[in-house]
Amino acid sequence: MRLLELYIHIPFCKKKCKYCDFLSGPSTADERESYVKSLCQDIRSYAHLAKACRVISIFVGGGTPSTLTAFQMQQIFSAVRDTFVVEENAEITVEMNPGTVDREKLSGYKKCGINRLSIGLQSTKNRELQILGRIHTYEEFLETYHMARAEGFENINVDLMSAIPGQSLTDWEENLKTVAELAPEHISAYSLIVEEGTPFYEEYGEGRHADELPDEETERKMYWRTKEILSKYGYERYEISNYAKPGYACRHNIGYWERTEYLGIGTGAASLINNSRFNYGEEPEKLTVSAQMEETMFLGLRMMKGVSKIEFLKMYGESMENVYGNVIRDMEQKGLLEDGEDFVKLTDRGIDVSNYVMSEFLL
């Protein structure tokens, strides 16, 4: 049977953050109930695909999925398990924000088979949380985190964001150390990106108030210090922005970077099936072999282990050297890539300019 990942999108949140450009927004109880009912019907409509697949991971993202009640989440997972064969040891993640769960809800999520939580903290400093437009305080995060532990969740990710307006290098270092002291199994450490169409873009886009944002050199130092600090607490960087204790790398996200097939269900969700990409409700677009090769390289290079030459040859019947030899040699000479016996991977310097390196692999 084919291995398959499921992504389920919940487009609701209590309040949209100032930097967020995801498909999400506030909702009423009736809207959430109607959406869950429709979502369950859509999940069951994939019975034909499910017959040939074995689900190895499920990720419920948003928005803020924890705006749903425990019963609504149970309805969704009943539809999933009625339709798909889910591996017994599947990684099942749900995203949540502090202040949106209680012990009863967490207990209900556990009964659904959810075994991994991803908590959107972003900062341990309430001043920075207010700047971002977050709905919670650090104290509310701590309450949520300890409740999750009390309910038996043993695999928790915490999201942190750097390069927040007014944030210093010392502020970022303190955020990292404070969270690492709590010992979550996984930490995602992302840099703020000012996206068009957001309140942040109106305030900081196109060079506006640039003096309030950390400069490029400070951002680079934040990135370096992230690895240095987290490694002292036992976290290994396995992807450009993700760190995990041994054995706790996010299997679902690794699937994305390694191009494992995944099915996205819900408003705005994306899928990769039979080398075709499509958004929910749209017609699939078959990727050319060249496009598949490009994805293998620029997604795979996000991983610290890099891209396997042997696997590339197995997938495409052509060696990486024949397709990308000139690019690899050029990037290696510039000190941006390491060309090993099997794996091609980014150097530390290459990570600093990863977008440039990955763009060089577009055919």
Q: What is the pLDDT of residues 6-39, one digit of tens each?
A: 999 999 998 889 899 887 889 999 999 999 999 9
318 CB neighbour count, 10 Å cutoff: 12
Taking Cα atoms as reference points, which of 150, 160, 38 lies closest to residue 105?
150
Q: 0.85 exceeded by the pTM? A: yes
Residue 281 lies in a domain: no
Contacts of 342 (CB under 8 A, 6+ apart): 308, 309, 310
> In the numeric block, which tokens belong to residue 105?
């809800």
- Predicted local confidence at residue 203, as pLDDT: 87
Domain housing 331 = 289-363
pLDDT for res 18: 85
Beta bridge partners of 55: 4, 86
- Report the alpha-carbon distance of residue 227 to residue 236 in Å, rounded: 8
| Residue 220 shares a structural domain with residue 296 | no
**pLDDT of 92 over the 90 cut:** yes
Same-domain pairing of 249 and 299: no
- pLDDT band at residue 281 under the 50/70/90 scheme: confident
3-state secondary structure of 277: strand
Mean pLDDT, residues 293-298: 97
**What is the average pLDDT across 42-53?**
96
Tell whether the model's pLDDT for residue 55 goes beyond 90: yes
Beta strand 156-162 with 186-191 is parallel
Q: How far apart are alpha carbons 262 and 273 in whole angstroms?
A: 6
Q: What is the CATH number of the domain that holds 334?
A: 1.10.10.10
Summarize pLDDT for 325-336 with one digit per residue, the tens. 999 999 999 999
Contacts of 189 (CB under 8 A, 6+ apart): 160, 161, 162, 176, 226, 230, 241, 242, 243
Please identify, among 238, 256, 274, the residue that sits at the C-terminal boundary of a domain: 256
Asked whether residue 166 is domain-assigned, the answer is yes
Cα 12 to Cα 289: distance, rounded to the nearest angstrom:
37
Q: What is the C-alpha separation between 90 and 277, in angstroms, rounded?
A: 24
Provide mean pLDDT across the span 219-241: 97
- How large is the average pLDDT for residues 202-220? 87
Angle (CA) 247 252 257, round 5°? 100
Q: What confidence score (pLDDT) does residue 25 get? A: 87
> Do 227 and 104 lie in a common domain?
yes
| 266 lies in some domain | no
pLDDT average, residue stretch 257-285: 95
Which pLDDT belongs to residue 163? 95
